[in-house]
Amino acid sequence: MKRRQWLTAAAAAPVLSACAAAPDGGKVAAPAGTGDLGVVVERARGSLLLVNTSTRAALARVDGLGDLSHASVVFSRDGGTAYVFGRDGALTQVNLLERRIERRVVQAGNSIGGAISQDGTLVAAQNYTPGGVKVFDARTLELVADIPAEYAPGKRSRVVGLADVPGNRFIFALFDADAIWVADLSDRARPAVTRIDAIGRQPYDALVTPDGRHYIAGLFGEDGLALVDLWDEPWRARRILAGYGRGEQPLPVYKMPHLRGWAVAGRHAYLPAIGRHEVLVVDTASWQEVGRVAVAGQPVFVMARPDGRQVWVNFAVPDYDRVQVIDTPTRKVVRTLEPGRAVLHMEFTPRGEAVWISSRDANRVSVVDTQRFTTLATLDADAPSGIFFTSRAARMGF
């Protein structure tokens, strides 16, 4: 390109990007991205609060989502659509840019979460009633596959720990059957299910490591966890951290930990010890315990800042007004915060400069600087619980 032509093109570029025109000659609104959007679940009113993580502001409210007393959210690959799984068995497709519900199906009697496939074309819901997994087309919400969790004639299990794994597969645990199943939807016309039995007593939740290789289910019926290495076929479950509470007085469990919040920071995983006031530190190369961190109460969410330098922990009652911060190099608690009554959820901004914390009984969300621990903003919300940012769209298991 000649120099004169280059200058002309360069000078015109900002004008083209700033002044898009409609076919009739009028100006149209500049296109908006979705990378700094997120939603806060308002469980009391069955709504989503649409938020902007850069401006730290609430943008809109979307009502009519039903029972959100135990709700979770996944996002389309472009971050423009939220799929909301409600306790009442509803799956709701929400357009974030247009701020409205696009589609809604009541697909079960009791649902507690879901996942979206690796290629973004399938959405799966995990169900308590009736026990099983249903898979839907992500665009139309038409049913693609119905996978009953029938582990014996006439007996269905509640499904927990549903996650996406590579190859357009979904992996999940059967609480009542002591099993893990993998559903392969690479050919949606012929779903295939692989069953892994006798994994340990009562798997209650699970996570996939960030690389998509390991699936780890917590066991409520015994001390320990079940691990499946998805790179090692035929798949089998291996027991890890067996007896981590051995010799210690069992404590009542006031709230089950949510294992999607397990923190993998560098080569270590930070896991909640069920019923104990401890966070377990595990080497992800050997899956052996290498340390413990004493914390203020029974951990519920244990979440790593994106850079892995910190792990943030919230707690079950009676300590659910607190959040503690663990420094990972020293494995010590370096800060205790009290953002409000009934802290239910935390979510880091994509690069971790801030964390958003919901306080249900205080009816607010606090945005906290993760370096200085100062409060950057507070947002009014109606009994807020889960917080989900569109950056999850690029992560497996979220």
User: What's residue 19's pLDDT?
Assistant: 36
- Coil/strand/helix, residue 189: coil
Secondary structure, 3-state, 257-307: CCHHHCEEECCEEEEECCCCCEEEEEECCCCEEEEEEECCCCEEEEEECCC
- Is residue 393 one of the residues assigned to a domain? no
Query: In this structure, what are the phi and psi dihedrals at residue 12, rounded to the nearest 5 degrees?
Result: -80, -25
Band of residue 138 on the pLDDT scale cut at 50, 70, 90? very high
Kindly provide the b/e burial profile for residues 385-397, where b requires at least 16 CB atoms within 10 angstroms of the residue's own CB: bbbbbbbbbeebb
Largest CA distance in the chain: 81
State the total domains in the chain: 1
User: What's residue 14's pLDDT?
Assistant: 34
- The answer on pLDDT for 8 being more than 80 is no
- Is residue 264 one of the residues assigned to a domain? no
The CATH number of residue 225's host domain is 2.140.10.20
- Is residue 55 one of the residues assigned to a domain? no
- Coil/strand/helix, residue 392: helix
What's 21's DSSP letter?
B
What's 393's DSSP letter?
G
- The answer on pLDDT for 57 being more than 90 is yes
What's the pLDDT tens digit per position in 256-294? 666 665 788 889 999 988 778 999 999 999 999 999 999
- The answer on pLDDT for 72 being more than 50 is yes
- Is residue 283 one of the residues assigned to a domain? no
- Is residue 79 one of the residues assigned to a domain? yes
- 38-46: average pLDDT: 95
- Is residue 198 one of the residues assigned to a domain? yes
Range of the domain at 169: 66-248
- Is residue 156 one of the residues assigned to a domain? yes
C-alpha torsion 328→330→336→342, nearest 10: 40
What's 137's DSSP letter?
E
C-alpha torsion 223→295→41→84, nearest 10: -30
Which residue has tokens 């994106």?
A: 306
- Is residue 223 one of the residues assigned to a domain? yes
Mean pLDDT over the full length of the chain: 89
User: In Å, how far are 22, 35, 79, 143 from 29, measured between CA atoms?
Assistant: 9, 18, 19, 36
